[in-house]
Structure 1
């Protein structure tokens, strides 16, 4: 494969910039003077590799201002003065770090791998922040790595790139410009006279469904208790049984997260939590926890419901992501009534009272206790006591607050009493997170001046264009294959009302997409600690996350001010040509 020379690559770069990004083209600096290059070599005590000299003799870096041409994440190319300043700065840091080590004791490969900043290394770009904290470097030392290009980042160890020289970097950059192909993972574009970089995002069109896998799985059942073996007296007289070892520590009592709701039956409590009817059935606590931990659950929360006290229904969570600590859940449960919530998470115990969507701050309690299962040995080593309760203070606080509920609210419930009882239970399709109504002022998204567009565009035209962008996003991500979303997007396009009622078809679809994304993440996380591979691939997770986010963009379009929704829609567009699409949509 032929690699273009530095001169040939620069000719291609200049031609493309002149045609597609005139502002950026105008910020290329004139050639460096040969005597300036020689002075820099003398000052640094190195000889610049031929590729670097040729490039500097074509352009002595760039002018640093808006529109400056860059090598994507690697930043703008440095001029002679930049190279000197960056190299001396990084040498000074390296000298402080390596003052106790002798670089001369390391061979060439070891120095390039372990030394912070070898003396012959030159930083040739200014990185994403246009400063010496990151960028590309060249090795100027004679030897097998002479002229080789590496990547430097101040929060990581330097490493070599596949490029053997700057000539290859410039050739790949020129090819990316000419062909519209990625360079270091990003694609260059010309927009409003400037070279910009963006991501051309691809998505798996038909990801594997974790909820579909769960539907095919069988719910595990708690095995029946073994029959006790009767004691048989020994025929040869009296005997003694001796137990060896320390007595077992007493395990912490069962104290699940629980909510109590006044005046509604358990069936309605169940509905407000978002139960999945196909998973409903009576379960003991042991059965509910076993089922919640199995693939059958697909990481959806499991709850059990029942009656207690004087007109109170209650629900306990037995597995899955915590629900009763979420304000949107408490607000939904307390609609037209009162909810008392008692939760425990490690050292923290919380009690709250919410009435008709509003929490009563005077009724809130919070207790934090220290962890007590760590002890210090005689040699000051740390030991952990196994089998006991790590937070006995929190356990006592939970029991105390629960007992007070009988006096304050007439709630009488003991978690020890319903463990074996087969209470009605089900998995949940969790309600969606609250959407923040206040957002930062819209300014820029993906190097596009959205704030300026909002200011200069009539609201009706802006809304029409963003509705078209939303439709494009729905198509790119595949969420328009769901009838509920396709209908909503079409009604948005036609400026018609959209039904986003709680537990309506559109709401349930959005919650299902959130559940798919959560389950895919859970399966991949679990596979890291198992020998068997995950049935879900990383591309599947990415696709579900994209669909969940795109559905969220539809929701924002319906609930938030247009500028905020527009920012989300444009930020999520998958096609790298979305700016051209937007221009066409604004012109319609």
Structure 2
């Protein structure tokens, strides 16, 4: 009896799953009927290649797990990086593409983006997908990759049989397979998981020193003793943030912002302008110019980047032992105010509706604030800022605008503070939890064991991302297993190193390989900060979630259970 290549590959996959990943094997659905396959092809107006028919005649996709979704983490079978469709999902996807792009492709973003005779049979969690070419001709039956931004690309697999054979080879040999990205098959708790294997690259190029340079300006502006608040203010000031802190001087305000002392000097507005990173990629080290007036220190930032005075991490630090008010304004008319007292948010106001305002009602704290309008007119936007300023002046006595903004002010470049969230959800106190399958083991572990585990896992993550190339980091790693290890002290050598890594990762126009490496390293830096600052149970989830070794689960389980 003749066995097609598709059937042989499925036989090999089934055999391997039954022996090594029985939970995943049990998720595979029975075959689709020939009648249903024929009906789907007829409705889509295409002829299914023999490989696609044989593929569906062996297994009609994957059954949902206990939570009603198809997921490898719940034992669902997957192709590397892609979730197989059932026949019903293939048909639904085809209908959607016909509706989206038109029966004859008249709505395509650009020529060659899609063809009505492409049939999607698997997809990622995003719209990206695997397709079979059902056009008659030399490419009939070829498998391509659809990416939302680029359309469909062919060239990796001449047929579905070729792709499935590679999957079977990878499972049996435990080898890396590339389907867009590179993956390695790993078994954990009876389930098959395709672990992403990052490309090994060299040390990333640093663009930090370029960020220290100031722009060269032809002429300097004139000193203005006071910028008067009137109906035209902030004419000439678009996209700015003014941050005020009571009873501080310029030196202390700069320190709390995270200033680099070696960059401190008087600057005019033109010298504080953000560089065009398209012309020369560099680390963005924004400038804050500072002054004092009426018992308040103030700092002004301008530019299209994230303004530090709008960040809660910065305002908590600036307001320590005092109070701080932040007023930001954007060219689209959006105005916002935040009030912090001794490191805690008091209230927040925003001219956009439905922005959370914090513990206290901003209209109670700042009487006279304008009520947010869903779609304000340009005239209403112009009226909002003076009204907001009036309310802040009445409540705090802050001079708005403060004197000397158009002139030369003391200033420094800022090395931005580390973000203090780690991508968790509110129900997890905004901390990334460990995967569910390890939760009971973590709960049962003693504090001493958890300290050893997080020290080992963090050391492995640092080695995988290159974070351990810094002496400050290796010194901190050696302390993680101790009961009373110190946290990350503000402006310590370790804090500055982690912040510098974070800044390197935000260079938008850097070479993509460099940026990828810096981003991985920056995430590891945030995980290390959590590991040093938080209890091990709260910090462990982010650390293991960032691991790059495909076999980290086996290692983690052994560390939690071995005596």
Matched, 1:175 2:169: yes
Asked if the contact 2:434–2:542 (Cα under 8 Å) also holds between the matched residues in 1, the reply is no
The aligned residue for residue 226 of structure 2 is none
Select which of 83, 98, 103 maps to 1:75. 83
**1:13–1:339: structure 2 CA closer, same or farther, 3 Å change rule?**
closer
Matched, 1:329 2:335: no
Residues in 1 aligned to 2:391 and 2:474: alpha-carbon distance in whole angstroms: 49
The aligned residue for residue 252 of structure 1 is 235
TM-score under structure 1 length normalisation = 0.72
The aligned residue for residue 339 of structure 1 is 324
Residues in 2 aligned to 1:213 and 1:111: alpha-carbon distance in whole angstroms: 41
Select which of 422, 438, 449 maps to 2:437. 449
Q: CA deviation at 1:306?
A: 2.0
Residues in 1 aligned to 2:192 and 2:249: alpha-carbon distance in whole angstroms: 63
Select which of 275, 299, 302 maps to 1:315. 299
Aligned partner of residue 480 in structure 2, secondary structure: helix
Select which of 410, 421, 424 maps to 1:424. 410
The aligned residue for residue 534 of structure 2 is 560
Residues in 1 aligned to 2:525 and 2:559: alpha-carbon distance in whole angstroms: 21
**1:169–1:447: structure 2 CA closer, same or farther, 3 Å change rule?**
farther
Residues in 1 aligned to 2:554 and 2:100: alpha-carbon distance in whole angstroms: 50
Q: CA deviation at 1:552?
A: 0.8
Residues in 2 aligned to 1:351 and 1:102: alpha-carbon distance in whole angstroms: 52
Note the alpha carbon deviations across 1:241-262, whole angstroms, 9 max, x for none: xxxxxxxx99925485323333
Q: CA deviation at 1:11?
A: 4.6
Superposition CA RMSD, Å = 4.3
Note the alpha carbon deviations across 1:7-36, whole angstroms, 9 max, x for none: 54345434433443244345556778xxx5
The aligned residue for residue 288 of structure 1 is 272
Asked if the contact 1:113–1:159 (Cα under 8 Å) also holds between the matched residues in 2, the reply is no
Matched, 1:543 2:517: yes
Select which of 211, 216, 224 maps to 1:221. 216
The aligned residue for residue 262 of structure 1 is 246
Asked if the contact 2:210–2:282 (Cα under 8 Å) also holds between the matched residues in 1, the reply is no
Q: CA deviation at 1:415?
A: 4.8
The aligned residue for residue 493 of structure 2 is 505
Residue ranges of structure 1 left out of the alignment (5+ in a row): 227-248, 374-389, 525-535
**1:495–1:416: structure 2 CA closer, same or farther, 3 Å change rule?**
closer
Q: How does 1:483-498 map to 2 (within 5 A)?
A: 483-498=471-486
Asked if the contact 1:260–1:340 (Cα under 8 Å) also holds between the matched residues in 2, the reply is yes
**1:52–1:446: structure 2 CA closer, same or farther, 3 Å change rule?**
farther
Asked if the contact 1:292–1:299 (Cα under 8 Å) also holds between the matched residues in 2, the reply is no
Note the alpha carbon deviations across 1:57-94, whole angstroms, 9 max, x for none: 66676666553432234324x7xxx53x4565566667
Asked if the contact 1:286–1:419 (Cα under 8 Å) also holds between the matched residues in 2, the reply is no
The aligned residue for residue 228 of structure 2 is none
Residue ranges of structure 2 left out of the alignment (5+ in a row): 66-73, 222-231, 348-359
TM-score under structure 2 length normalisation = 0.74
Note the alpha carbon deviations across 1:115-135, whole angstroms, 9 max, x for none: 3xx5xx766x46558xxx986
The aligned residue for residue 475 of structure 1 is 463
Residues in 1 aligned to 2:170 and 2:400: alpha-carbon distance in whole angstroms: 68
Asked if the contact 1:300–1:321 (Cα under 8 Å) also holds between the matched residues in 2, the reply is no
Aligned partner of residue 540 in structure 2, secondary structure: helix
Asked if the contact 2:438–2:557 (Cα under 8 Å) also holds between the matched residues in 1, the reply is no
Q: CA deviation at 1:372?
A: 2.7
Residues in 2 aligned to 1:289 and 1:93: alpha-carbon distance in whole angstroms: 47
Q: CA deviation at 1:559?
A: 3.2
Asked if the contact 2:220–2:270 (Cα under 8 Å) also holds between the matched residues in 1, the reply is no
Note the alpha carbon deviations across 1:234-291, whole angstroms, 9 max, x for none: xxxxxxxxxxxxxxx9992548532333323222222222211111111222333377
Residues in 2 aligned to 1:343 and 1:97: alpha-carbon distance in whole angstroms: 40
Asked if the contact 1:304–1:315 (Cα under 8 Å) also holds between the matched residues in 2, the reply is yes
Residues in 2 aligned to 1:290 and 1:62: alpha-carbon distance in whole angstroms: 51
The aligned residue for residue 349 of structure 1 is 335
Q: CA deviation at 1:324?
A: 1.9
- Report which of the two structures shows the higher radius of gyration computed on alpha carbons: 1
Select which of 351, 372, 380 maps to 2:378. 372
Note the alpha carbon deviations across 1:544-574, whole angstroms, 9 max, x for none: 1111111111122233343332211111001
Residues in 2 aligned to 1:474 and 1:304: alpha-carbon distance in whole angstroms: 36
Asked if the contact 1:292–1:318 (Cα under 8 Å) also holds between the matched residues in 2, the reply is no
Residues in 2 aligned to 1:272 and 1:457: alpha-carbon distance in whole angstroms: 39
**1:15–1:267: structure 2 CA closer, same or farther, 3 Å change rule?**
same
Matched, 1:397 2:352: no
Residues in 2 aligned to 1:295 and 1:88: alpha-carbon distance in whole angstroms: 48
